Structure 1
């Protein structure tokens, strides 16, 4: 239970002063007197601007920007300018100060960072737009010019997640879903491992609290066993390192709760079966030119002491990950019979592994960043710039593009001359063609991959050698957009299509004038608008192009204007519909007696709800509703991946939902069963379901191979309690080893 905060202004002033001293101690020794003055000025302004504001917990609001500045300084290790911007990041958004005030007091650099961090709140949104996506787009727009914008935003989000317990549940779901969907991949792409892991765990804590608590308990209860295992394993390695004159610090780290859960789910294994719940790390200090040599010397010592698993060895020294991560990994068998992962790296590599692009800037100043790493930093920013160039891509499409390009998995492709090209995993021949040159991409008709002819859709594998085949008669097509994976290729295709469409605008207008003349219809803005509304083509250029090419035919246009009377009737119905009460009003009226929750039952004719097929929640599950129309709510489990995505994009559509206790309705649910096959096992399953529990089976599927059976049971069930009772009874059947809940459509 959360402690209640009791305001005390005298104590709060003392606390703020202490926080100032702690934060001031984070200033670097090289900080100039002018920068120190600006820091003091920013701290004073933040305290004054937020003096009448409090957080949901009851604490003074200024505690938040101070905490963000501390994360920026101590955990991301940015400089004074970033600390100043962090202190001021909410001033323009939440107070009467303007961005011009910040510019006058602190200069252009700080003002630009603060503006990039200020949310958009003055735009009119339609139902297909997302204010969250618009804000993400703005953040990245300023990030491509100054990466500190996104680094400070991550610090802001981290502190908000650390203090999320004071929020109401639907706010917790919205914020944690945004975090999981957008901020975690960004932190991962930027190489901020520690922040990424903590954000994942905190998001899971609110979206799936039961699983989170279970894994957390298992980690705590097995801690002492792991420590003994680590000590026994590392002792002989440390002795050998000392004999070889290698000074290396040994540490260990646990996998995050979220990554443990993902591995359990992905590999369908139990907590006790995960061998790499923790890893041992050896970190040494050396000049960059000696790093790889020392890594391999430590590797040799480990392999001389223990048996290793060659299939688990990873060399990220010569082939760093896309976020710049460098390390040498080896998995060794301990004397206790447990596999242990060992990570070997220099201090420079370790700092980049933990703090990613933020560490890059410090090493860049010291000329200690490898060229290949710096290129990877700029490569990702260039991808974002490419995506921002598109003028007709809405914020949601942009967000999806960014998500796709946050993927760290890459493939190495070779040109016929042996030049290496890095592409995201899943890239096609067409993606590769556009990396060579825009014209080559535009004219690509296929390729020779390892001397075999393939189509433009062919997905490339790491190590492929590719020779692109072109034709001057080829031209980019709209369907190409579904073939490519990279933003660079997508934007070039869009540019080519837009250019061609513009040429056809005048031809389309002349064509429509002729059609209207033949149909005796006035050539007017309203009549053109009717065709656009009927065809639902949002792009003006595409609309005229379709008319010029005959895609929107004479007969189609004739049919649109043929039934004018019917059209007026439809318009009248729409107008009448708009006069009806909105969903918000209906919910308000229904919840007058208990306004904090929307009950899911069948009593309302005006407000309907449907059960989401992706997760199929049952009464008793923790659920959240989404307003998908004026009369309809879609109900998801709060830990459903689709719900996470929707909450991250359309937080304003969240409806807090609760099951009506007295309803007696059968909900469609599913179970997957796995075990060892034997005679009579299906009969025992059916007897429990139909005879003992009196449940109605919709479908049952069973198959057996090599003595192992798998099955799927789809049935109608009242609630989670009844489902759990069924699972418990089925697990008593001899040789059933595992039962998992699934969506009925799986």
Structure 2
């Protein structure tokens, strides 16, 4: 072998010895007999066989591993297993040792960690497009032991610290971008806020050098005056809170350079235009039953002292965020006309804000989150922040049950699907046409049926054939609502084409026999032939499963039977137990209706209340619920009086705007004399009304009187009033009311 032996510089030797001494002091007591000897032998063997090489930045791999280990120990809390995995991972990744070798020397736990690091190394070889949340989640799901992710974060922090002066600009740019969009968010999710901020700031420093140093210099220049200002700002607040007898403590924080730069870009302003360079957090020690009262009391004391900016008010007490976050945020005009952000919360709320979903579950007793991965991360965060010596970390393994799977397209894009999703789900995600013509697929190059379930890390390719058509049983194969909706739409279009073809075929055959088709007679023979849906009948005709001649003969038989009965006087039916349903009509088509809430706001999510069923044109108001946004009620809603009395402060003004093109279901209560033909008279009036569809009618009679409900689809409250007047005018109708 003629390769030049790897050599340490004198500076690297000194650093290595110093770090080794510090690590021995920090975790030496957790090492097992023989650990240090094995490590020394493995590293020596790598030297002899020229297996140690500097990376693209010229970094010494042994020194870099020790630096990473020190970060993992001091700033994350890993111990013996984590350190050995960091030092030995390269020998396994490069193929000089096997997982079995590691297992024999250092045990199952170290082997398990390195196995996870190896899986992720192999994942990177696929050159995936990693600028996405999906790749972060796939990375997490691939590392069954959470220490794998922690080691990757520590490694990236160390690399970012060491490459300040490198001349490898392209590689420096690449690792800095990954630190920003991949590792910083992971650190944030794990509660490693210090490392997260460092990764973001170093990324900005390397990617946008001028911006970083401009902000840094301005922060340094203003630090003394900023600290003095904070003291002047909080002094009168302390006096007021003390006088009110509140128990509390305050935190002050300056924004990171990265977050200041993000705000400057978002607001398109200079450094001087970022008025909330720091924030004051007031954390109240209040009993559970007095939390909201004391938060609002604090808010009132501060806004009475300093003028608030109404546009910067955020009330997450009345309606907490979906992740359980509760707090009051306001921005007030402090001394010298400077805006200051103030956050008000209790100890419990601050715990939830700092520990995320994990703390929320502790208070709420909730056992599930937004998915297995989020639950896993939240529990790790709680472990990180609640274990002082963090010895638990070396035994901590995940019980991760994925609720989602992450798969690659042939181009390297990452898509996520619910667990149990199939190749057919993937096909419909790409395009309806791809799904409709899908006959199978390839997973990691191996041919599979479209029923094949997807697993994280799969690379999926779809195989199509032009003559393929969707079938109803496909609805039982797919898991995603998107795929189900597209299949139903395709089936509907197919049914429509089959129906038109079948009707044309029947009309031609009937015309040849010189028979005119009566729709009511045709409807009867369709039912007598055992079809519940007309579409199924026409489908069988189109596919020649049902002989057209058979249909014609059945029709003639039914028609002749009707003619024989035509001389028999059949009395008209009364309203007794009359029922009708029209389930094929869509309840609500695409809406152009708009609600204006609180006089100015449009585009806010709202829900129409089920207690009074408001429709376009009804006088309405909005009610702010705790967890379901704004609900819209009619002014004359039966519950309106009680809502206004008990929750007046949550009532907001609302009015209709837009074109009034939606269809709404309304129900009318009709009472009257049970005269012959009353039902026909009612239904005839409804059927003649323009753009009005009857959805259902249910009427019963007793002792010469009838009562019942009629449900119609209507697009305007004004038309409702007109319909009520017309129905009230029908002979025998005594009362018509909207319910």
* TM-score between the two structures when normalised by the length of structure 1: 0.45
User: Bigger radius of gyration, 1 or 2?
Assistant: 2
* TM-score between the two structures when normalised by the length of structure 2: 0.46
Larger relative CO (CA 8 A, sep 6+): 1 or 2? 1
